[in-house]
Structure 1
């Protein structure tokens, strides 16, 4: 089902939780709402679900205006961070809850509900767990059951609020890859909230980066990572080096470095570059000149801190092999150039 958000606003005293949100999600798309605490992502998810009402704006599910409909009337599946499973019910009873709670005229018979529960247990790869209780499950298993319960009602849209936030790092990685495979099986229109950049970039078809109740950028994971639309997005997603300099006649100048910046007006500017996009330079006349302050090794990753004259902070240069970077030592004089970068006024 297609989801369309138009001019959505939600205010609390002194705070604009949502400030004119416009967002189109295609049927079958998996979209991440990414941002820090207070950016408005969970508020947006709850307004879409019908758990909160917006002050202004419109929520459309397909051709249906759902702006004033209740959670039940919207027919959305909602998965909470902390599972929210009923502890006194078995796994099978938890999954069946949404179907059994329907009005009598729309409630499937007992046999149909039983078949649906077994189908979902197979889908989430827990076919033998129907008779267990939530306290007998691991965190990852509980989240799978919470997802199965949300899918049981055949929702038009699936909404997930920090679905992996309560899990340890290894389980979180395993479960998000499993969820991606599940999405490819079901084709369910899905919107999930996260503050984890890696999670959003690995899992989503598109990422919506939010800040202070507004959308900073919408794009594929590659677009928001490699072509950030603003300094905020560049620094929020992944690691970034920032260099102070000037743009003159379409060229960025800084500490001996000159780079193309034809789309930026003349004047003070900043260059943003990822640590892994800084490489050793052969040309001494078109490079950053610096001194290695520290070298850190973590597995196959080598990170060098490089002090550059006139810059308030050391740069990070990162390599994933044992080549030139491994030969650098503290105190070495080095030359660097960015292979990919962005310049902002």
Structure 2
């Protein structure tokens, strides 16, 4: 009891907060020493007045003022979502470069460097960029600093803004555990959507090939084909990976096929592709279904998008990696990153074909 009373007089440290995410349940109010009377709930009309929040399923907003967090942040906004997601948004205007840099170092010590969306944002690794914003100087929107970290079901964002100038945002997102839909997928396969037959395509001359070298030897070879019309109205490049240097599909135990594009594409075609995959396979490995507005924004900006993924077992259901009796039949992954753009990959394409033939 004395320890509890003593701790109430001490502000919660970042390390204590970071360690608390391992607790079940996650009692963030107690960890942050927030009392019920300090929570000011937004009205329903105030929530409706923010269409961005409504679009992503925010159903409750609470604000905490007059409470200092981590010896830095003077306000906290808590957003609850329809799907159980919880987001804590700590805010403070700061022109103290050393203070901002110290916060980043604590995050880096605990979670690593994280990722930043270059060239859209600058990095906290560049101390001069931090100092420039602290001195109210910047050249353009790309000088805003943004990093992201992921730890299990938690995501962390640190953002030093130029609009409003000097606002430091630290957001923590707690995503609910997704319950995978394990029923058998009995509506066919991705093959039903594809126009170009892989075996026939491989029988033509490739545009070029890329050797994948490991330990001084060619372990795989990617054969690259340009296709017209684009597959799924998006992908004009197909990469077929085979073992070694022999140009043959017969020695491949689990064929990897990647669909990529260097053409312009329409966001509606990406939305239609996700919808078509959902009709065949249902919710993905993490339980996600239709694209959310923020995902569409990321795709349109050609930024990072974790996408959708289905690991299919021998019974043509989602594989439970904790069940050793299950075996992988094939794996579909649709994602995006700034370097490679949109990418649809199928590992075990040959197994998917075999299943489709008996379906």
TM interval, shorter chain, is under 0.3
TM-score (norm. length: structure 2) = 0.24
Highest RCO, 1 vs 2 (Cα 8 Å, sep ≥ 6): 1
